[in-house]
A and B are shown apart, each in its own frame.
Chain A
Amino acid sequence: MAAENLLRTEALTKTYAMGDIHVHALRGIDLEIRKGEFIAIMGASGSGKTTFMNLLGCLDKPTSGSYTLDGVDVHHMDDSAITQVRNRKIGYVFQSFYLLPRTTALENVELPLLYSQHVHARDRHQKSLHALETVGLADRAKHFPNQLSGGQQQRVAIARAIVNDPVFLLADEPTGNLDTRTSVEIMAFFQKLHAAGKTIILVTHEFDISQYASRIITFRDGRIISDVPNPTPHNAEQDLQKLPRLDPEEEE
């Protein structure tokens, strides 16, 4: 049984003007993503995968083409409506975490709720703590980002991404700044969230990381060159058992 459509792009293009030269970052992308999928978007740098991610995340606007998210045509929305979409429907996880400095883990997780008009102060606290529990960092709620390891920071960022219960998670090279073991740990979290029903779109250039997803889309020169299901995704939890604990003190 096919799950319902979550998002759909048609002939999506993006052209950057750099002086006289026009750089065609995306040359017409047609893509459909259904609810509950775990997708890895692969590609070398310059392939257009980051540009595509920016468009999917409503961080940028396409030059032409249409983008329908959750049944709504995002292309024709005004700024404040798109702001609402970003706040309510999308959870972002970035390569360099993007946590606010000198702000506690809990306050960082609360951030999307602060800008949401539908959440009361009491619920905000509750929801944020719950999100931190999900990523196993409830005991670090009062810590500042500079008191947390890279893996912990990324887990705080994931907590922030899921706190508003978005329709999909968008992760841009979430393991790019992490060592192998921590990367696999983060992937284990994504797989757990996926198992719980979340749609996840992951942008990466690492082959190993992409193998945890259930569908792999490859970009080259602004086009999709392959879009294949991965019927046997790796299990991050199991991989973790095989990896040696290099520095047991690190996460303490």
Chain B
Amino acid sequence: MSVPGIIRIALKSLMRNKTRTFLTMLGIIIGVAAVITMIAIGQGAKKVVDDQISSMGTNVIMVMSNFTNTQNTARQAAGTGNTLEEEDVPAIRSQVQGVLYTSPVYNTFGQLKYGSNNWRGRIMGVDVEYFLIRDMKIDSGDLFYSSEVENGAKVCVLGKTVADNLFGGVDPVGKIIRIRNIPFTVKGVLKSKGQNMMGSDQDDVVLAPYTTTATRLMGHRWRFLTIMVSAESKDRIPLVQQDILNLLQARHRGTTSEDFSVSSQTEVAEAANTVSNTMTILLASIAGISLLVGGIGIMNIMLVSVTERIKEIGIRMAVGAGKRDVLLQFIIEAVTISILGGLIGIALGWGASEFLGKSMDWSVAVTPWSIFLSVGFSCAIGIFFGWYPARKAANLNLIDALRYE
């Protein structure tokens, strides 16, 4: 008999037992929905991490000196020491291939004051390209210009947290704040970036020209320079890292590769991804177990259904159904239950993911591969758990089946 014909027979026999069919399907529905939801939650967590990483900037390379004891050591002659210098920045820029942006970064802390409001915050001295490297956008006002950096102008841009704490509801643009008692004009306020991966507030920062920061806010003897670089593309990062390291060793004679660390966000990102992938796998395997239980449910019902329908199978065989026809009919019934259950499960899982995302404010991401995975898995379950009952049905003895009461 033709396969479409058997499909018709199988569907009809499922329709004749709507309640039983639905209850069997429920196991698969819940299983698939759980897998989809769990993967969506796992992938959502991963997306949060990805977003945080990309909020640090794209293709960012950080160059730091490992010589941390600068404060207590006499500054050595230029070109001989193993600390980074401002002159290294244009050198990297002009001599390393694949570099897009560069900026020196000075980090310090200090008391910030506006009127009677006080705030202790992080102050970063940067060049204008820093905004591009970190993908920082202005919310109100303006960024500072290269001319202001060159002239060592006393201007600054505030992170949102600083702006809120110093100014309350007042618009900070154009106002003058005192950083370590030195007056700086606020040029603008940055758009919020939220917390970074380590949980620290990326908006709790004041950005000022590195020139001004170095000369006005920090003493020469204890400056500690970091250089931020962005590579043209993700693929070039390892090469750029190596070239920077080679260049620095050449520029600072007598240093070894251990004196400088050149690290990239990709490494951090990969470590973080490993964690969230592990979490996804863990959640999905727990949900997968419920899918397995659903599959066993199918086998159970199909076995009962074979016993219940022994006589029907006998009648079908007597009027000309072959073993193959009976085998196919039962497998198709099982596969139909699991595929249909799978599809409903996808819809339900998707809905549940969206609901969780909205109501719990979780980040969820339903991914195409999780859908393919669960559909494939539920097909496999249908065939695997449908096979044994189907064989049992097909191998029934005709006379015994007909006389079965």
Bound-complex Cα distance A164 to B12 (A): 22
B16 contacts A59, C-beta separation under 8 Å: no
Bound-complex Cα distance A60 to B398 (A): 8
Question: Chain B residues with Cβ under 8 A from A112's Cβ?
Answer: 319-320
B321 within 8 A of A: yes
- Chain B interface size, under 10 / 10 to 19 / 20 to 34 / 35 or more: 20 to 34
Measured CB to CB, the closest approach of chain B to A69, in angstroms, equals 15
Question: Chain A residues with Cβ under 8 A from B373's Cβ?
Answer: none
Per-residue B-contact encoding for A138-166, CB less than 8 Å = 1, 0 else: 00000000000000000000001000100
- Chain A interface size, under 10 / 10 to 19 / 20 to 34 / 35 or more: 20 to 34
B402 contacts A88, C-beta separation under 8 Å: no
A79 within 8 A of B: yes
B402 contacts A98, C-beta separation under 8 Å: yes
Question: Chain B residues with Cβ under 8 A from A128's Cβ?
Answer: none
Which among A60, A84, A100 is the interface contact of B315 at CB below 8 angstroms? A100
Measured CB to CB, the closest approach of chain B to A21, in angstroms, equals 19
B333 within 8 A of A: no
Bound-complex Cα distance A101 to B309 (A): 10
A87 contacts B399, C-beta separation under 8 Å: no
A80 within 8 A of B: yes
Per-residue B-contact encoding for A172-184, CB less than 8 Å = 1, 0 else: 0000000000000
Residue of A nearest to B15 (CB): A102
Asked if A79 meets B323 with Cβ closer than 8 Å, knowing A59-B398, A59-B399, A102-B16, the reply is yes
A87 contacts B398, C-beta separation under 8 Å: no
Question: Chain B residues with Cβ under 8 A from A160's Cβ?
Answer: 319
Bound-complex Cα distance A182 to B325 (A): 35
Beyond A59-B402, A60-B398, A164-B320, 18 extra complex contacts between A and B, CB < 8 Å: A57-B318, A79-B322, A79-B323, A80-B322, A80-B324, A83-B317, A83-B321, A83-B322, A83-B323, A87-B320, A98-B315, A98-B402, A99-B315, A100-B316, A102-B16, A103-B12, A115-B316, A115-B321
Q: Which residues of A contact B (CB under 8 A)?
A: 54, 57, 59-60, 79-80, 83-84, 86-88, 92, 94, 98-103, 107, 111-112, 114-117, 160, 164
